[in-house]
Structure 1
């Protein structure tokens, strides 16, 4: 989940290459929602072994109320710290 700030606008997506996709969002290489809303902070992610399961989870979360998405982030990242250093490739 990408965000523009703590409790700000969020974007949920799925990818098979998290470091590359986050880099694209952070640098503005991807036109669309994240670029328009300046969502450059990786604030939450979860890994799946199966792409179909990951897509199902993405669609599930996208249907959630905003408060539920915020609670999901804050359970593991209460300060909305940018998690990019955890996933960035050296």
Structure 2
């Protein structure tokens, strides 16, 4: 588990969604992975974000990542879908 602040935005980063603590006081964005499936949802003013996986395709999941811009205490994020060459 890692807590980091970038440009005033407070992040909590964990591997598995199950590892997210109940107390998210002073957290703006929770980033997690493990499932390799993109997810982005706001709950109680906190962004919960799984960027997906941009490595080798697993199961039938799309290959994806997330691009986030953080500036002056604000952030914007977008899903990026990667289409392998030859498809």
Greater helix share, 1 or 2?
Answer: 1
Query: Which of 1 and 2 has greater Rg?
Result: 2
Task: Give the TM-score band, short-chain normalised.
Answer: under 0.3
Greater relative contact order (Cα < 8 A, sep 6+) = 1
Query: So what's the TM-score if we normalise by structure 1?
Result: 0.25
Greater strand share, 1 or 2?
Answer: 2
Query: So what's the TM-score if we normalise by structure 2?
Result: 0.26
